[in-house]
Amino acid sequence: MRLYNAIVNVWKFLAVLAVLSSTYIYLYPAVHGCGFPRQGDGTVAPFRLLALADPQLEGDTSLPKRGDRIFPSLQRLYGDGGFSLGGLSEVTKELVFKDVPKLLSTIRKRIDLFGNDYYLAHVYRTVSWWTRPSHVVVLGDLLGSQWMNDEEFSRRSERFWSKTFKGASKVPDNLFDYVDKIPQEGIAWSKTLIAAPGNHDIGYAGDLDEATVKRFEKRFGKMNWWTTFGLENGQLNMLTRNEAAFAEGPRLNLVILNSMNLDSPVHSKALQEDTTKFLDEQIGHASRQSYLDATVLMTHIPLYKREGLCVDGPFFTHWPSDQGGGIKEQNHLTEKSSRTILDGMFHLEKNWARAGIILNGHDHEGCNIVHGRGVAEKVEQNMSVSSINDWTSLNYESAKKIGVQSEHSVQEVTVRSMMGAYGGNAGLS
């Protein structure tokens, strides 16, 4: 009887634990107070951006191919004449210390691939359900390797849309033709996934080519594009190009920038010219921006900062000269490219900054930086800072401490990766 009561009590405890755990798993955004800030009157803001970074869907290229033997070492026991005990000791060692660990690693990898898609899907689905974003962006590295062939790219892309971000769709290609009129059915932006290209999607500047761009844009949308929303009666409405040019009320510009080939040397100068031309156009648009307008710049590689401000410091490697000498890896944009973005898109005049925010990924740990103007003399001696021309860069807490005002600064948020190793993070803006 005592054993029976003990078993019942253990069962009750496990049942309660299971219910509480399941409740937490599906309501963790509420438990952690995850939500968009309310406006002054208590209503939700019309623009609510859910920002996700670096899901990096992996593939099975590292797994044994179909038809490969599970224990290849055992084949050595079979000669041309059949079974042989010669070399049994060596075969046993190879079986125990090589084949079995490899098999266990393969099993772990298969479980990881299966569970990872659904883990990322749970993060996206649960946070979206609880917070009700108006827009969603993935800030690059949607997939896990720029070196995969077209077949593997297609498989991972299919998993991305059918499992991880099931129910979402890419930005429609005809969006970029909305010069005079928007189709009556419009776009369901809360279910439309904005995708910025990352190095694991298209490669760095030294290996980015036309074929890689073509396959990315086919599955995930254009690499460089922008759209404008107008605010009318508390509602955010997408504007055509012509409407955006002449709108008198507040305008919100969403800009997707391919930062992978902003810096040199590059593999394809033509693709770099496309990106440079697009950035120049956005700088021109920014020059006509009024104090009522704001810009959200979404890209992958963070702006330049000196060592110590974020987990990743400045870092570049290049391909050998006989392979083009282009950029092979980089942690940040160069100071020159960063200055072009800050001065061109976010500098208004003197020490005044245009309203907006910069969102990116790449540094999996995440980082929150404020780039301020006219604040260098306020910086305290023990604060870690960096500079880009007349911009002083410091972390958010330091900027808050010395009272850097939004009118004189622009915030850059490097969103922490949504991978399980980084806690399934999501950013709300």
Statement: residue 83 has pLDDT above 50? no
Task: Please tell me the predicted confidence (pLDDT) of residue 150.
Answer: 93
Q: Does residue 218 sit in helix, strand or coil?
A: helix
Give the C-alpha distances (Å, rounded to integers) separating 347 from 195, 295, 299, 408.
Answer: 26, 12, 19, 9
Instruction: Write out the H or E segment, with its range, that includes residue 226.
Output: strand 225-232
The secondary element (H helix, E strand) that includes residue 254 is strand 251-256
Q: At residue 415, does pLDDT exceed 70?
A: yes
Q: How far apart are CA 276 and CA 180, in angstroms?
A: 26
Q: Give a yes or no: residue 139 inside a domain.
A: yes
Whole-number Å distance between alpha carbons of 283 and 261: 17
For the stretch 169-202, pLDDT in tens is 999 887 766 666 666 567 889 999 999 999 999 9
Does a structural domain hold residue 283?
yes
Could you give the CA distance from residue 350 to residue 347 in angstroms, rounded to a whole number?
A: 8
pLDDT of residue 81: 47
pLDDT at position 63: 58
For 414, the domain range is 46-59+132-428
Res 243: pLDDT: 82
Count of domains in the chain?
1
User: Both tokens of residue 145?
Assistant: 């390797």
pLDDT at 249: 78
Domain with residue 418: its CATH number is: 3.60.21
| pLDDT, tens only, 222-264 | 999 999 999 887 788 888 888 887 777 789 999 999 999 999 9
The pair of three-digit structure tokens given for residue 373, joined into one six-digit string: 């103007």
**Beta strands in 53-176, from DSSP E residues, in sequence order:** 78-79, 82-83, 135-138, 169-170
Inform me whether the pLDDT recorded for 100 exceeds 80. Answer: no
Structure tokens at 38: 């309310």
Q: Is residue 108 part of a domain?
A: no
290 assigned to some structural domain: yes
- What integer pLDDT is reported at residue 75 of this predicted model? 64
Q: Report the pLDDT averaged over residues 291-319.
A: 95
CA angle 250, 256, 257 (to 5 degrees): 125
Question: What is the pLDDT, as a whole number, of residue 401?
Answer: 94
Whether the predicted pLDDT of 82 surpasses 50? no
Q: Quick one: pLDDT at residue 70?
A: 65
Over 60: is that where the pLDDT of 79 sits? no
112-126, 148-162, 300-314, 413-427: lowest mean pLDDT where? 112-126
Higher confidence at residue 316 or residue 102?
A: 316
Residue type at 153 in one-letter notation: F
| Nearest alpha-carbon partner for 199 in 342, 313, 422, 360 | 360
Judge whether 409 and 370 are in contact, CB under 8 Å. yes
Average pLDDT, the chain: 88
Tokens 């911009």 belong to residue = 391
User: Could you give the count of Cα atoms lying within 13 Å of 141 in the half-sphere of its Cβ?
Assistant: 22
Is residue 208 in some structural domain? yes
411: pLDDT strictly greater than 90:
yes
Average pLDDT (199-222) is 96
CA torsion 288-291-296-297 (nearest 10°) is 50
pTM of the model: 0.88
Task: Burial-class residue 55 by CB neighbours within 10 Å (0-12, 13-18, 19+).
Answer: buried
| pLDDT the model gives residue 217 | 96
Say what the pLDDT of residue 163 is: 94
User: Which residues are paired to 360 by β-bridges?
Assistant: 414
Residue 137 banded pLDDT, cuts 50, 70, 90: very high
Q: Is residue 74 part of a domain?
A: no
pLDDT the model gives residue 113: 72
Encode pLDDT of 315-360 as tens digits.
Answer: 999 999 999 999 999 999 999 999 999 999 999 999 999 999 999 9
pLDDT exceeds 70 at position 89? no
Question: What pLDDT score was predicted for residue 105?
Answer: 66
Q: Is residue 316 part of a domain?
A: yes
Supply the pLDDT for residue 80: 47
pLDDT band at 403 (very low <50, low <70, confident <90, very high): very high
Cis peptide before 46 (omega within 30 of 0): no
Say if 11 falls within a structural domain.
Answer: no
pLDDT in tens, 33-69: 899 888 777 788 899 999 999 999 987 665 566 656 6
